Structure 1
Amino acid sequence: MLIIPVIDLMGGKVVHARGGQRDQYQPIKSQLTSSVYPNAVIKQLLTWFPFPTIYIADLDAIDRGKIDKSFYLQLNKLFPQLTIWLDVGVRYSPDWQAWNDIPNIKPVVGSESLEDIEVLTMLQQTDFILSLDFKHDRLLGKYDLFQHIELWPETLIVMNLDVVGANDGPDIQLLEQIKTIMPEASIYAAGGVRGKSDLVDLQDSQVKGALIASALHRGELSVETIRQLMK
């Protein structure tokens, strides 16, 4: 099982995401780091445990199209061994073309942001990730992606924004629904993980991995637990 720490960026700081209400996000308070600045947070996370992959949601880019490419070039120099799953709110095909020359970054296309279904066609020959973003029991986005399953990649994030940061547990039912639709996909759960028991439940459900923030920063997961689950 792959455990992927989540870094939500807003205004140059790492924030605590909860319920998708971005105007209410506050800088993180963490047992793993005293900093709210991304370079330091990532460094201290990797010192605590050598995660091979992190996920970054750049909320300034997603919400306002404000993108700082130099920051990600710097991240690559600081952490050359790290794979970054990056959501910058890709809307149209040119949005990703500005990023494809940065090593070790995998594009995440979120249904919430997608404006042009041709983005998925363009990325068919690349190792991209599709995030199916749900809120209030519906898929966010302009397109009914369930009518274009042939364009889905092998790697899917299933994100229920209602449970993000809510400490209510992952949405197992939603994950099972997506698995039924695309059983051959590698599915990663996003939102709701409270600790080891939730991760074991996800593992038993044949989920490939989990994106986690709150449980890490609250100290609900030990290094030994993560090591055992990631064997």
Structure 2
Amino acid sequence: MTGSEPAMQLIPVLDLMNGLVVRGEGGRRESYRPIETPLADGAEPVAVARGLIGATGTDVMYVADLDAIMGGEAQVPVLQALGEAFPDLRFWVDAGFQTIDAAEALIAAVALGAGRIVPVFGTETLDETEALARMDGPAVLSLDFGAEGYRGSPALLEGAELWPADVVVMSLAAVGSSGGPDFQRLEEIVARAGTRRVHAAGGVRGRTDLDALAAMGVAGALVASALHNRRLGQVAP
């Protein structure tokens, strides 16, 4: 790593709706529109993913399947197309999983091979508070916070012993904003996480935020708008 690179894992985000990549703003999913970005011609997922990979050099992509999160069908063909286009990429997928069975069914349906689809269990949709302990393979927990506060079972927020190795602190109201990450909440979660890797999601504006997050022990950041807006510039190694 050189001094010009962010001292943490940078994970680009694809928000998928109706087969296209959309621009997330403030968690108001009903108002999301197909993305316009200098990283790709149009909002086709493979094209946008290629632009994000070129900008970051990542080997992990976060995919939010908003159709599934809002109660619709998972976008299996889109996930398959992404997997075939980028055979060396792993995908952290949030598809509104309510149960472990739902996550395992999606992994089987996409059929990309062992470990390439890592399910993200969001607390706003998860019904089984102990599902993560029963997952046969890696998993990510997303602690979801809206403008009104935490969304989900208090047992998952309070019970750090239930958390897997990777935890996302999802600040939905900050998505697509220029207000910055929720540093106070992230500090609180890092203090309780022990050896688990904590990842910030929502509000990252640029390198200054990445440096501040790294200094407080945050292991990674989920980023979309700062890349599309070129506030982070070219960060690929």
| Same-fold call, TM cutoff 0.5 | yes
Q: How does 1:93-104 map to 2 (within 5 A)?
A: 93-101=100-108, 102-103=112-113, 104=116
Structure 1 residue 68, shift from structure 2 partner: 2.9
Taking a change above 3 Å as real, the CA distance of residues 92 and 49 of structure 1, as seen in their structure-2 partners, is: closer
- Partner residue, 1:183: 194
Q: Kindly state the Cα deviation for residue 226 of structure 1 after the two structures are TM-superposed.
A: 5.0
SS in 1 for 2:200: strand
**What residue is the counterpart of 1:54 in the other structure?**
61
1:92 to 96, 99, 103: 99
Q: 2:226 aligns with which of 186, 203, 215?
A: 215
Query: Following TM superposition, where does structure 1 have runs of at least 4 consecutive aligned residues deviating by more than 4 angstroms?
Result: none
CA distance in 2, matches of 1:46, 1:81: 11
1:47 maps to a residue whose letter is G
Structure 2: which 5+ residue stretches go unaligned?
A: 1-7
**Deviation by residue 1:121-157 (Cα, 9 ceiling, x = unmatched):** 321x521100001113521124531343322101100
Deviations 1:67-111 (A, max 9, x none): 132332232111100111110011012201213343311110000
Partner of 1:106: 118
Would the aligned equivalents of 2:129 and 2:153 in 1 still touch at CA under 8 Å?
no
Query: How do 1:1-231 residues align onto structure 2 when only pairs under 5 Å count?
Result: 1-101=8-108, 102-103=112-113, 104-123=116-135, 125-136=136-147, 138-223=149-234, 225-227=235-237
Query: Percent identity of the aligned residues?
Result: 39
Gaps of 5+ in 1: none
What CA distance in whole angstroms lies between the structure 2 residues aligned with 1:67 and 1:182?
31
Count of residues in Structure 1 that have an aligned counterpart in Structure 2: 225
Work out whether residues 129 and 155 of structure 2, in 8 Å CA contact, stay in contact via their aligned partners in 1: no
TM-score (norm 2): 0.89
| Counterpart-to-counterpart distance in 1, 2:230 and 2:62 | 19
> For residues 50 and 99 of structure 2, what CA distance do their matches in structure 1 show?
32
> In angstroms, what is the RMSD of aligned CA positions?
1.6
One-letter code of the match for 1:31?
P
Report deviation, 1:218. 0.4
Cα–Cα, structure 1 residues 147 and 218, in superposed 2: closer, same or farther, change >3 Å?
Answer: closer
Q: What amino acid sits opposite 2:159 in the alignment?
A: H
Q: Distance in 1 between matches of 2:236 and 2:209?
A: 12
- Relative to the length of structure 1, the TM-score reads 0.91
